[in-house]
Structure 1
Amino acid sequence: MNIRKATINDIESIKLIYNQGIEDRIATLETDVKDNEYIKNWLFRRPEKYTTIVLHDAEEILGFATINPYSSRCAYSDVGEVSIYIDREYRGKGFGTIILLELVKIAKNNKFHKLVLFALEKNKAGNKLYEKIGFKHVGVFKEQGKIEGEYVDIVIKELLLD
């Protein structure tokens, strides 16, 4: 397995993995599958500090992780919001740990003070991964959004990097 910075050539693979997360209803509140233009705008039209990395073998991308802007306010410029998605075929095999540890290292190198994430409370595997890496539980947004007509809770986690 190798990890590298994502390139524009990875858009198709990233889109497929992200859309799996949407379809599986455990990783995001998004409900509409995304196209290449959406992925391009989300991940490749922002300052360099906000990076996306891919985990791959010799043949394919197995997952991706990204540091997104937490807020447009300058007071939050040292806070990054984390997103991580693993191809459904490779979930539960330790790849999330590998890519998330690398993302934390990159965040430290890019002088982030803190990483935050928002996860569906029902995503037990994801929440277990975040805690394994050191993210601390901050709170819960009760009934924060809807999936298939049902309100769901969102957990908030943070990792101080200093």
Structure 2
Amino acid sequence: MNEVVLRLAQPSDAAAIQRIYGYYVENTAITCEVAIPSLTDLTERIKKTQQRFPYLIATLGDQVVGFAYVSPANPRYAYQWTVETSIYVDRNCRGKHVGTKLYDMLEKICRQMKVVNMTAHIVYPHDDQPDQHLTLASPKFHEAYGYKLAGRFYKNVYKFGKWYDMLWMEKSIAKHDDAPTPIVNFNEIKSQFFN
């Protein structure tokens, strides 16, 4: 039986990322994008993220089955200890703990980077009822993973002819020290996690 293996994303992973992400763009309200990004766009996103932060790939056998990364919650200096997480798992591989493995690794890396807060921005049904474009799986996953609701923006997202809310969830992974250590660029520590 194959095991889920994590590695760093490469520009050549853009096509696999597009395959996984494209389904969510076209069929769900999980992402606010309405057009599938081009391979060039996705390649540039990988490169930009990896200038400072981890961009991870999950494989099962020889197939890419998920990806996750963190990015600044806000580019201004005083926000540096807070990141936003993004995670997508191949719709045919849900229930195989791919998301958990990706999040476990992201959290380990972020702790080493001196990140204090991890956040997730999650589209949510305005009437609290799932529909054909949106389940409640993401907020439930994040809650089980220790994230707490920090805020809710009402009718903040419009997709598929319907208004959706946006939840902001957060998880503190370190103490809020009075003099926090500046975060470390992932490239300075990535050898601790990947060869």
Residue 153 (structure 2) aligns with: 141
Q: How many residues align?
A: 162
Question: In the alignment, which of 90, 100, 108 is matched to residue 87 of structure 1?
Answer: 90
Cα shift readout 1:10-52 (whole Å, capped 9, x = no counterpart): 1111111111111221421111111111112222124533211
Where does residue 115 of structure 1 map in the other structure?
A: 118
CA 128–7 in structure 1, closer or farther in 2 if over 3 Å, else same: same
Q: In 2 relative to 1, CA 47–56 (structure 1 residues): closer, same or farther, beyond 3 Å?
A: closer
Aligned with residue 77 of structure 2, among 56, 74, 77: 74
Match of 1:36 in 2: 39
Distance in 2 of aligned mates of 1:117 and 1:43? 19
Shift of 1:143: 0.4
Q: d(CA) in 2 for partners of 1:57 and 1:150?
A: 36
RMSD: 1.4
* Counterparts of 1:95 and 1:47, CA distance in 2: 21
Cα distance in structure 1, aligned partners of 2:118 and 2:106: 10
Which residue pairs with 1:60 in the alignment? 63
- Ranges in structure 1 where 5+ consecutive residues have no aligned partner: none
Q: Judging by fraction of residues, say which structure has more helix.
A: 1
Cα displacement string for residues 59-115 of structure 1 (whole angstroms, at most 9, x for unaligned residues) = 111000010121111111121110000011112332211211111111111211111
Structure whose CA Rg is larger: 2
Q: 1:96 aligns with which of 87, 90, 99?
A: 99
Kindly provide the amino acid, as one letter, of the partner of residue 87 in structure 2: I
- What amino acid maps onto 2:115 in structure 1? F
SS of equivalent residue, structure 1 residue 45: helix
- Normalising by structure 2, report the TM-score: 0.78
User: For 1:144, what is the secondary structure of its paired residue?
Assistant: strand
Report the residue type matching 2:152 in the other structure.
Answer: V
- The answer to whether the Cα contact below 8 Å between 2:14 and 2:39 also exists between their aligned partners in 1 is yes
